[in-house]
Amino acid sequence: DAGVIQSPRHEVTEMGQEVTLRCKPISGHDYLFWYRQTMMRGLELLIYFNNNVPIDDSGMPEDRFSAKMPNASFSTLKIQPSEPRDSAVYFCASRRDRARETQYFGPGTRLLVL
C-alpha cells in the first residue's frame, strides 16, 4: 500500500484565494483525520470522519474551513477565503477501524498564504 497520500505537497497562495487540500486514505481504513500543525499551537485535530461521515468538527477554526469526504477513498479540506494565519502544515491521517488504534499519517501539505 502506498500509505496516506496528500496533494499538493506545497501550496503558496495569496490572501483571499481559495485553497483545496486533498487526501487519499489507506484503502480499507474507516477513519480519516485532518490535522493542522504550527509552531505556536502544535498539532491540532481539525475534523475526523468515520465511514465518510463527519463525526467531530469542533477543531475547525471557523466557517472559512470546510471538509468533505464524498467516498471512502477521497477527502478534501477547503479554506475560502484563505488568510496568512492559515499558513501551516496540514496532515491527513487514516485508521483502520475502531478496534485498531494506530493512525497513519500522510506527508502533509505545507501551505503558505501571503
Partner 1 sequence: DAKTTQPTSMDCAEGRAANLPCNHSTISGNEYVYWYRQIHSQGPQYIIHGLKNNETNEMASLIITEDRKSSTLILPHATLRDTAVYYCIVRVAFTGNQFYFGTGTSLTVIP
Tell me the pairing of strands 10-13 and 31-38: unpaired
52 binds partner 1 (CB under 8 A): no
The single residue among 8, 12, 27, 55 that binds partner 1, judged by CB under 8 A, is: 55
Least distance to partner 1, CB of residue 16, Å: 28
The single residue among 20, 50, 52, 73 that binds partner 1, judged by CB under 8 A, is: 50
Reading the block at residue 45, the C-alpha cell is 485535530
Backbone angles phi, psi at 27, to 5 degrees: -55, 130
**Judged by CB, which is closer to partner 1: 65, or 91?**
91
In the window 13-42, what residues touch partner 1 (CB under 8 A)?
Answer: 31, 33, 42
The single residue among 5, 45, 74, 78 that binds partner 1, judged by CB under 8 A, is: 45
96 binds partner 1 (CB under 8 A): no
Reading the block at residue 75, the C-alpha cell is 477527502
Output the CA torsion 32→58→111→3 (10° steps): -10
In the window 58-77, what residues touch partner 1 (CB under 8 A)?
Answer: 59
**Judged by CB, which is closer to partner 1: 17, or 38?**
38
Q: How far apart are alpha carbons 15 and 28 in whole angstroms? A: 37
R_g over Cα of the chain = 13
